[in-house]
Amino acid sequence: MTKLVLELISPEATAALARTLAEALLPGDVVFLEGDLGAGKTTMVRSMLGHLGWTGSVRSPSYALIHSYPTLQPVVHHLDLYRIGSAEEAMGLDLDHHLRDGEILLIEWADRLEGAVTPRFTVHLEITGSETRRARITASEMPILTQETFRKEQSPT
């Protein structure tokens, strides 16, 4: 298990991290996005989807529970499980079907799953200032992301 802590010094740095993670996504991947309300989970998803080619709007699926992006390949689903009461209720969203089909799941409030789904990445965002965040990333593998490569990514060229 790989763990990495990154200081995100601006919204642009958060977007750079999202792009880096999007490049690492594989069919069937699950990404857990954790953090308090307003920490930037949906903002991170918006940047990831944009990097993958989505040009439409991206909103939090708080009330819908799931927003799907079927024109992306593989298909990506953004879930917000804040209003879910149990893992059984969450699995009723056909998560196993999406994973069997090689689709990508980006899941906010994944603690509601109670371990029913295993992520490849978990990104915990912590608010450290009005525009700064700390990202704590835990991954089963993280071949493209190190503190050094990320510093280069967020440096002006």
Q: Does the structure show a pLDDT above 70 at 143?
A: no
User: Does the N-terminal peptide bond of residue 61 adopt cis geometry, omega within 30 degrees of 0?
Assistant: no
What digits encode the pLDDT tens for the residues 9-65?
999 999 999 999 999 999 999 999 999 988 989 899 999 999 999 998 888 877 778
The count of C-alpha atoms lying within 13 angstroms of the C-alpha of 121, restricted to the half-sphere facing its C-beta, is 30
**Across the chain, what does the average pLDDT equal?**
86
Q: Does the structure show a pLDDT above 60 at 147?
A: no
Q: What is the pLDDT of residue 136?
A: 95
Domain segments of the chain: what residues?
7-141
Q: Does the structure show a pLDDT above 60 at 107?
A: yes
Residue 90: both structure tokens together: 């969450």
Q: What is the pLDDT of residue 157?
A: 47
**CA separation (Å) from 8 to 2, 113, 153?**
19, 28, 11
Q: Are 105 and 99 in contact (CB under 8 A)?
A: yes
Shortest CA distance to 68 belongs to which of 103, 39, 99, 25? 103
Strands across the sheet containing 2-8? 2-8, 133-139, 121-127, 30-35, 104-108, 76-80, 66-69
Shortest CA distance to 67 belongs to which of 105, 10, 21? 105
7-141: in CATH 3.30.2350.10: no
Dist CA 80 CA 84 (whole Å): 9
Q: Does the structure show a pLDDT above 60 at 156?
A: no
pTM summary value? 0.87
Which residues, 6 or more positions from 66, have their beta carbon under 8 angstroms from its beta carbon?
Answer: 77, 78, 79, 80, 93
Q: What is the pLDDT of residue 150?
A: 56
State the DSSP H helix or E strand holding residue 40, giving kind and residue range, or none if neither.
Answer: none
